[in-house]
Amino acid sequence: MLKKNKSKIMQIFQLRNLILFSVCFFFLSAQAQKRALSVGFGISHLYDLNEGPMLLKSKSITTRYSVADIDLKGLNGSNTQFDLGYGVIAELSINKNQSLLVSYTNGTMTAQQDNQYSSTKLNLVNASFRQYLMPKKMQRQYLKPAKDYDGFYVRPFAEVGVGLTNYNAGRYFVKDQGLFSKTSGNTFSNTFSLGCLLHINSKINFTAAPNFIINYSDAVDGYKNKGVDIMMSSTIGILFSL
């Protein structure tokens, strides 16, 4: 009964994400000709976060045992590297303080722990809502139309989103480089971010933000198990206003 309830909850989360993603994408497409639109590209550091070992128990009636499943992490051994992803970004302004974004990132993520390591090819699609944050004393100076103020300034922001992660991964033993598990598929995700926008002028903006991504499948790192897989995508981007 507990397993069925967990499965239903996961299905509800995935359905909710699909609906939210579809609504955001439709809204972005419908409003593109009516509101300010910026497009650009970004470069991201892809990093597998360690969630700790998971205790697995045997399902056999005759044999009782438990074993800890190894969870990997990035930049943690000779089989990992500073992984980079490359992508495109579009931002649609709702008003002076809010916007909608869609992004696509492609890259490879490596991770290692103890005697195992993984290599995962990723395609990340995301739609998010961004809220710009700024102290009231700064609003009078910086939240004016571009025709009134077009100088350099920095604006912090918070962002939440929903997405889809496509993965093709292999899990290997460190000692002999032997492949012992392979996974591939698609999973829904949620993203959370705090970052800043660097306004250069009315045509060019830079953004920098660490994006925490919760993938609703533990198979992203090459070994299928229960739970989620958490990663981080730290992105620097440049946007051009159309």
pLDDT (tens, 9 = 90+) of the chain, 242 residues, equals 545 555 555 655 665 666 566 556 655 555 555 668 899 999 999 999 987 666 555 555 555 545 556 778 898 889 999 999 999 999 988 887 889 999 999 999 999 988 999 999 999 999 999 999 875 455 555 555 444 556 788 889 999 999 999 999 999 999 989 999 999 999 999 999 999 999 888 889 999 999 999 999 989 999 888 788 999 999 999 999 88
Q: What is the pTM of this model?
A: 0.79
Q: How many CB atoms lie within 10 A of CB 75?
A: 14
Helix (H) or strand (E) run with residue 142 in it: helix 136-142
- Residue matched to tokens 């598990």: 181
Give the chain's domains with CATH numbers: 2-54+66-241 (2.40.160.20)
DSSP 42: E
- Per DSSP, the residues of 206-241 read EEEEEEEEEES-GGGGSS--SS-EEEEEEEEEEEEE
